Structure 1
């Protein structure tokens, strides 16, 4: 978003970043083995020169380097206020402005902004289960994967890993190689398919530095990934093929029938996130690794007790338990028209129009928010689609002399019904407990129930029809709008 604004040169803007550097997910998550599960040339900006990626799937460090280079080369650093956390955002109808309260090393400050863009991401607030009794009394380190530290005592330690999601399947093989013992607590077995990663050779890397070649590769990857949405609709033979691929991977890599049964999911493939790994299953076969097919339920001193009754002596616990994705904590700090909190507006699950604007919250845009993610394709493509929408709205405001725009409640309700109807046809609503669903309403609120291409067709262009506008008048100019 900042790159687009900087290149346009039409608007003054500021980026508030509570951390001390850019990078988001890839800045905060530095655990061993971290990497993306979307191919590098698709998980990158279409509007920047292609990067020299070293492998098919980029490592977390490579992505962070890519983002840092983008911020520097696009001239964004002077626009970014680091160490600035948003404590409150209040819409003022009189001035048609957002009054932001920001805290940091210099104390608390107020910033007035005509437009507010929430770009806080879905994977920014670590989630620690509140169902583990005694976790706070554990004498050793308890660390979430998003709070990894390089000084953690891994070598020779007995380590418990809670969870078997995307972070865990990357981390467990790395820990197993150096720890004395690794116990993997699994509430629900995941579906895992081969990753098939490899280093790109020198000729490939050279060819992909050509923008046209990189663009063709990106388009090819995008199209191929979108084909997988047929699996999420439960269509045959597509869903059978991906299920067979996952089960065949499990059978080839886990010869022990007991362990294989424990690792066999009891829900339809795709209902939860499908994981990519070539070394997770082999790591579970190591003599120093224990697969515990139950959740961690209780901690008593250094003893970790599973729901099934087994007890393990541990030196360290790693929480690979995901993030507060369905209910973004930032929503508790944003107050729209008539003082309504965004968290109250979303009390039954996140809703929006075009997955980008929210009724009752004028001049506010949400990136990577309600139904703006995918379970089968690149988040970057989706965000870029939303950027086109936001830029279209800004252009409309400038061209028509608009102080504020707000999508109607009827438009939001209609879009929500559309989402619910499309969702009903997908495997995400097949009955498994997934972080894609709102925990209270059970609605699909994180994912777009369609292809990436259909999201762009539906939401890539700003249309003023569903909006109410407050025009600029001589009186409003005198009010300082």
Structure 2
């Protein structure tokens, strides 16, 4: 073996997609120069430093400056042309070394190497290191997997947890519980795993975040075909994760949670589940972990005459793949994330389409939205040890600061309610300019295409021009008059226009603030959780609720990110936090943990104070981020780093320990 390949080789990494070997590099110097010229330099330099065991070239003058991103990301994290030129020379020399020395295997990094590479990628932000280690396979202290086993801390104890749901959140929790050896059952109300990605099968469905930012730290797939993965690719990924983790065979399909009631004497939850056929079963579990999602309950507005419609009506999440829309007259109600995908996907094949808009969406430029991964990326993933995982980490680094600087409100800003700060106004001006180009020659459409609220106040979509192209098609009409009623043959708007249609697509979103809707959860003293919330769902770290011992939520209130960070990271950390709480129960030999009300109040005030500083928290903004009380109950207004810190340990001062 060469000197560069004699480190500790990984044998059991915490990655279900781990590959021991890369392919050998056989390309000529000329070909390597071409590849380096098109590569993403920070990710490549980090990968090469790790593979060659030489971090000396990650000097300060090569650090990506992480220039704040307003609308479009800066190539190589904002590296200057001079930095890029030098970086390519360094990368070329290191690639030749991989080739000439036959280096094809990844090594476990030392702590010093890990620190050096993370400081390089993070431009000196050492406070990010703990969170980034959670995502880095090669770190000697990767901190996501449990470092304990049930049999070591509670051998012989009768203890079983229930995980509810087998979507992205449920699979993450189940994998960690399985790693710790904690006995658990996992139930799924439908007949398939995958949650929202099994349910959403409408035409055009795909991610609106980059694919490599939408994967688990413990399942880092490297061969994604699309830069923004299509829906079926995410489904297949989740199915593979479930199989490789051993969770797939444990899922009890067709079993919906109906109710759970805490029995303080037994220290357990009495849980009632129901099959699709209506058969109910009552079982006891010592802990309940709900992973039922936020964007899961369809929101279908109640229009007069709705039931009289004789055509086909379908919500985007409940799309029947047998729906016949070809050559038909189609109405799409809504202009949010699903409509943005459905409308361009089918408009060319319909006779006529009417898009009903209540408010226009802001869209961030994403020229690669429908493009495959590049040939150079594929080569690097195959030939450079661990490159794709380093690229994923680089995407994670870029997502930490995100675009928070563009949505933070300035007090008494005169541009309100159209913008919230000078930087936010700059973003508005740039996005408006782009819309002006896209709708050139269509002034009537343009005036309806520019939103009347600040950028970032609502979810921003990805824009590669297909939305404007669809709306300016001859067979598409944008209708902004409110819907008055639905008739047997169509839709009547407030101005009296009757639009005759054969198909109505409700792209009207969900009811994300109505957590655990349809499930009865009774905690101590028989208090039901929805009564305790009274329309304002709150949970400490988005996970625990006072008065509900050993009850944990994954993807609970206030943990959704919209301008920064990784949702997968947030979900993993919530599941890991629940597991840490259960470890406390087991090691202390107690029945349960119950978060204290004052801890929750402190957490909510912290989150609320920051949310009030954001575009979505301004009093003149109305968005699905808010609940019926007007409180922003969905959004995490901090970075992933703060959530890593908040969930790294269970503070005994925040909990009561029930013996």
Question: TM-score if structure 2 supplies the norm length?
Answer: 0.69
Deviations 1:424-464 (A, max 9, x none): 1111112222100012x110100011222222223343222
8 Å contact 1:185–1:306 — kept in the other structure?
no
| Distance in 2, Cα, partners of 1:351 & 1:305 | 40
Question: Could you tell me which residue of structure 1 aligns to residue 583 of structure 2?
Answer: 395
With over 3 angstroms needed to count, the CA separation of the structure-2 counterparts of 1:124 and 1:182, relative to structure 1, is: same
Give 1:311's match in structure 2, choosing from 498, 523, 542.
498
* Structure 1 residue 54, shift from structure 2 partner: 0.7
With over 3 angstroms needed to count, the CA separation of the structure-2 counterparts of 1:257 and 1:62, relative to structure 1, is: same
The reply to whether residue 263 of structure 1 matches residue 449 of structure 2 is yes
* Structure 1 residue 329, shift from structure 2 partner: 4.2
Question: Could you tell me which residue of structure 2 aligns to residue 145 of structure 1?
Answer: 316
Question: Could you tell me which residue of structure 2 aligns to residue 223 of structure 1?
Answer: 397
Give 1:250's match in structure 2, choosing from 429, 435, 439.
435
Question: Could you tell me which residue of structure 1 aligns to residue 347 of structure 2?
Answer: 176
Tell me the C-alpha RMSD between the 2 structures: 1.7
SS at match of 1:215: helix
8 Å contact 1:271–1:428 — kept in the other structure?
yes
Deviations 1:361-406 (A, max 9, x none): 1101111111011112321111122123122112211211121110
Bigger shift: residues 339-348 or 13-22: 339-348
Give 2:306's match in structure 1, choosing from 135, 143, 147.
135
With over 3 angstroms needed to count, the CA separation of the structure-2 counterparts of 1:241 and 1:199, relative to structure 1, is: farther
The within-5 A match list for 1:82-481 is: 82-105=253-276, 107-130=279-302, 132-197=303-368, 198-208=371-381, 212-225=386-399, 226-234=401-409, 238-255=423-440, 256-278=442-464, 279-330=466-517, 332-376=519-563, 377-430=565-618, 431-439=620-628, 441-471=629-659
SS at match of 1:136: helix
| Distance in 2, Cα, partners of 1:112 & 1:443 | 35
Larger radius of gyration: 2
| Distance in 2, Cα, partners of 1:120 & 1:136 | 29
8 Å contact 2:243–2:249 — kept in the other structure?
no
8 Å contact 1:13–1:79 — kept in the other structure?
no
Give 1:43's match in structure 2, choosing from 214, 218, 225.
214
SS at match of 2:213: coil
The within-5 A match list for 1:14-53 is: 14-53=185-224
With over 3 angstroms needed to count, the CA separation of the structure-2 counterparts of 1:148 and 1:189, relative to structure 1, is: same
With over 3 angstroms needed to count, the CA separation of the structure-2 counterparts of 1:193 and 1:249, relative to structure 1, is: farther
Structure 1 portions without partners, runs of 5+? 472-481
Bigger shift: residues 364-373 or 376-385: 376-385
Question: Could you tell me which residue of structure 2 aligns to residue 479 of structure 1?
Answer: none
Question: Could you tell me which residue of structure 1 aligns to residue 64 of structure 2?
Answer: none
Bigger shift: residues 381-390 or 175-184: 381-390
| Distance in 2, Cα, partners of 1:80 & 1:170 | 31
Bigger shift: residues 301-310 or 141-150: 301-310
8 Å contact 2:222–2:388 — kept in the other structure?
no
SS at match of 2:591: strand
8 Å contact 2:191–2:254 — kept in the other structure?
yes
Question: Could you tell me which residue of structure 1 aligns to residue 36 of structure 2?
Answer: none
* Structure 1 residue 105, shift from structure 2 partner: 4.6
| Distance in 1, Cα, partners of 2:251 & 2:571 | 20
Structure 2 portions without partners, runs of 5+? 1-172, 411-420
SS at match of 2:354: strand
| Distance in 2, Cα, partners of 1:426 & 1:148 | 34
Could you say which structure has the greater relative contact order, defined with CA pairs below 8 angstroms and 6 or more residues apart?
1
* Structure 1 residue 151, shift from structure 2 partner: 1.2
* Structure 1 residue 230, shift from structure 2 partner: 1.5
| Distance in 2, Cα, partners of 1:206 & 1:126 | 42
| Distance in 1, Cα, partners of 2:570 & 2:537 | 17
| Distance in 2, Cα, partners of 1:56 & 1:213 | 16
* Structure 1 residue 99, shift from structure 2 partner: 0.9
8 Å contact 1:31–1:145 — kept in the other structure?
yes
Deviations 1:135-156 (A, max 9, x none): 1110111100001111111111
* Structure 1 residue 52, shift from structure 2 partner: 1.6
Question: TM-score if structure 1 supplies the norm length?
Answer: 0.93
- Give the count of matched residue pairs: 468
| Distance in 2, Cα, partners of 1:449 & 1:308 | 40
